[in-house]
Amino acid sequence: MTARDKLRLSIILVILYMTAAFVWWAMSLVNYSKTEKDLRLQLFKSDSLHLAGEISHNMLSGKFVGKDSMSFVYGNQTMLVDTQKLKDFLLKKYPPYDVCFYPGKSFDKIFSANIKKSVIATENNKYLRKRDSWIYEGVVMTIIMLILALALYLFLDRVLKLNAQQNNFLLAITHELKTPVAGTKLAVQTAQRKITSEQQELGKLLRMADNNVSRLSRIIDNVLIATKVQSSHRMNFIIQDLVLEELIEDTLAEIRDSLPETAVITKHFVPELLIRGDRELLQMALSNLIGNSIKYSSQGNEKINIQTFIHKGRVAMSVSDNGIGIPNKERKNIFKMFYRIGDERTRSSSGTGLGLFLVAKLLRQHSAIISISDNQPSGTTFNLLFKEKANV
């Protein structure tokens, strides 16, 4: 799945999630409004019971006696009640209710108090307005979210498209550069073989040219592999059994001419430790790792110690230098692409910031783990742990 396919899938999932969230939010508020309406009407009904009790008490106490009083008999007691006076009292104190009187009925049935239809209609209208408002807001928010998601998708898709174009350009240009660099190197090596003993100065210049061409070739290879790794470009692996000691020796032989004359490399190998992987890619990872350790060792006194060993039953190796070390706060960053410790404007050592990035990526492709520890008395140790169990 390409990066653009992953982006499309992510945007679709975000849209579905946000749409479901807004629908749930709107429906929850609609249900809340309906529950609020039902509770208010229920409260009115509860108040009607209180109203009936209060009226009965006031009628028995003679509070509603007036000039147009009517006579009611309750048990052995006769009451005089002015129904108009009673009605005015009720409408003033309990406006949401309709009160009806039924002369000649028994006391408990002489009046009734019911919620006005207009009050019920008003509550229903409030509920409908709130419901429509919540639904409208939910639809508007969903549309806004969809527009923002579409804008984000178009922006990120354009970024990924430009990134793909840049990666394709880097792949094309590095492939094109490899041919003239290889031709130049071949010409320099041919000239080196043909020089005479009297042409020592020319031989020195040719060796310098050969070293620089080799360095340029490694940089091109690093850019090419880094671009493939970063752009999820399909890489062809040739997996085979490799003796770790031989792999390290071949790597050292390949980079020996590019190492400073003062470099001293000590080796301590456990023989016949086998790993599986792509020889070319693992050599690239090891050459970058060893080259990095040389670069950041004490200048003029470069001492590198390479060991292979068995750690918890698995094949492992370490590369130690005697440099200034790596601060703890920088260790999580040094494997990032183009990252280099210090200020680029004042840094004296050359480099592209691809070396350790490629080391980490290529080792991860081989299911190997790299970690950093302090070397004693100074410097840094890179520890590599391969997935293969040691056959001992």
Domain map (residue ranges) of the chain: 3-140, 165-230, 239-389
Give the three-state DSSP class for 125. helix
Distance CA 239, CA 234 (A): 15
- Residue 294 makes CB contacts below 8 A (sequence gap 6+) with 259, 260, 263, 302, 304, 321
Residue 344 — very low, low, confident or very high, per pLDDT cuts 50/70/90? very low
Residue 339 · residue 332 · CB < 8 Å: no
Task: Check pLDDT > 80 for residue 3.
Answer: no
Of 130-134, 217-221, 302-306, highest mean pLDDT: 302-306
Sheet holding 314-320, edge to edge: 264-268, 303-311, 314-320, 380-389, 369-374
Polymer length of the chain: 392
**Kind and range of the H or E run holding 40:** helix 3-60
Please give the CATH topology (third level) of the domain spanning 239-389. Answer: Heat Shock Protein 90 (3.30.565)
Q: What is the mean pLDDT of the chain?
A: 76
pLDDT for residue 346 is more than 60? no
Look up the pTM and report it: 0.51
pLDDT tens digit string along 63-78?
A: 777 776 766 666 666 6
Report CA-CA distances (Å) from 21 to 71, 144, 329.
65, 14, 40
Higher-confidence residue: 161 or 322?
322
Over residues 72-100, the mean pLDDT reads: 69
